[in-house]
Amino acid sequence: MKKINIFYWVFTVLFALIMLFTALPNVMMSPDSIDLIHTKLGYPKYFIMFVGIAKILGVFGILIPGYPRVREWSYAGLFFDLTAATVSGIVVEGFHPMQLFMLVFFAPGVLSYIFYHKRLDLETQNQIA
């Protein structure tokens, strides 16, 4: 159980930090965010701050204990964001090998989610026993 908890928290904090650091420029409407999301991908400017705030809420959702349904929705929202960003880049610019860099964002999230469910399974087994 201890090893699973350690892996869970390492991947969860890593994923949360990655998502938080990508959300802050969106919320602050940085020129880089505007250039990427509005100019290159074609989304409206108001969408940039909305996505940033949604990511921050998702980060809180995966970190705050005791609300499993909120956590599930938070994981889903963050993965929708990553998937939409990847697909948007591919549709607008075509596939480039550099887009495989998005795996750096996906991997800790997937591992966090896997270890979250392993923790839940162990907690359920311990309650039954």
Predicted structure pTM score? 0.90
Mean residue pLDDT across the chain: 93
Q: Which percentage of the chain shows pLDDT scores above 70?
A: 98
Residue 79's contacts (CB-CB under 8 Å, 6 or more residues apart) are 106, 109
Q: Are 48 and 2 in contact (CB under 8 A)?
A: no
Residue 40's contacts (CB-CB under 8 Å, 6 or more residues apart) are 92, 93
What's the number of CA atoms in the CB half-sphere (13 Å) around residue 35?
A: 3
